[in-house]
Amino acid sequence: MKTVDVGAVIDDGPWTGYQKLLIVGTALTIILDGVDNQLLPNAVPRLITEWGRPRADFINALSIGPFGMMIGGLIGGVLGDRLGRRTALLGSVLAFAVLTLGLAAVLSAFVSLHITVLFNNANWFAAKLMLLVLRFSADLPGGFIYVEMPRLTHPPRCELTVFALNEGGAVHVRAEGRDWLLDCADEAHYNHTVLPYLRSRGVNRLDGLLLTHGNAKQ
């Protein structure tokens, strides 16, 4: 059996972009983790004055953090088992960054509007990055699964099925035994996504078709 010295491997290993990205991500996590905790106590005195509330009303807001971390840890563990540790960790970091920057933008408004603008722009970038990652993951083979409709005792009066297919999305509306389609996506998405879905729902003929923009092509 070969013995590996982990410390020597780390010290003598190549310094690649992947290691640098891990260092930057860890540093951002530590920095963002402290932003909300540092700004909230500074904003409480101003909130007490403007809202006219006693200091005791803010105890729950200041102590809810550990409880939220407990819930996040439980959810993150389940996601890590299902999606993989790396995917769950990166998703958690992005979601944490978006929520922390959003909270920091709200609280920093009591200190400086310039800081608020800075946090808003950073939050927009983080949210955009998270949505791009989700979209890229959804486009991967096996990146999503279809979930069977629940078997209800009485069918719903109205069903809405929304397809987020780039700019040419589609919405299937089923109400009172009638099937409507609001937009139909572009030709490729219609043939490979919308049409197979309609066939799976037993729809061979539409009662109505509504096109709202020029990107919808059949």
- Give the pLDDT score at 177: 84
Q: At what angle do helices 59-83 and 17-51 cross, to 10 degrees?
A: 150
Split at pLDDT 50, 70, 90, the class of 179 is very high
More confident residue, 68 or 175: 175
Look up residue 207 and give its two tokens.
């009662």
Contacts for 198 with CB less than 8 Å, ≥ 6 apart:
172, 179, 181
Split at pLDDT 50, 70, 90, the class of 118 is confident
**Average pLDDT, whole number, for the chain?**
76
Phi, psi of 113 (to 5 degrees): -70, -30
Phi, psi of 122 (to 5 degrees): -65, -40
Phi, psi of 57 (to 5 degrees): -70, -15
More confident residue, 90 or 199: 199
Bridge partner list, 112 = none
Question: What's the average model confidence in pLDDT over 71-92?
Answer: 74
Q: Is the pLDDT of residue 208 over 80?
A: yes
Residue 174 CB neighbours (<10 A): 18
Torsion of CA 78, 83, 85, 90, to 10 degrees: -100
Split at pLDDT 50, 70, 90, the class of 218 is very low
Phi, psi of 140 (to 5 degrees): -70, 150
Write out pLDDT tens, residues 160-170. Answer: 888 877 666 88
- Give the pLDDT score at 145: 62
- Give the pLDDT score at 146: 63
Write out pLDDT tens, residues 8-29. Answer: 777 777 778 887 888 887 787 7
Contacts for 17 with CB less than 8 Å, ≥ 6 apart:
none
Predicted TM-score (pTM) above 0.85: no
- Structural contact between residues 7 and 70, judged by C-beta atoms closer than 8 angstroms: no
Q: C-alpha distances in angstroms, 118 versus 47, 53, 192?
A: 21, 29, 42
What residue has token string 């769950």? 88
- Measure the CA–CA gap between 196 and 192, rounded to whole angstroms: 7
- Measure the CA–CA gap between 65 and 109, rounded to whole angstroms: 21
Split at pLDDT 50, 70, 90, the class of 159 is confident
Would you call 79 helix, strand, or coil by DSSP? Answer: helix
Cα–Cα nearest to 122, from 112, 114, 133, 110: 114
Write out pLDDT tens, residues 41-52. Answer: 777 787 788 778
- Give the pLDDT score at 113: 75
- Structural contact between residues 206 and 181, judged by C-beta atoms closer than 8 angstroms: yes
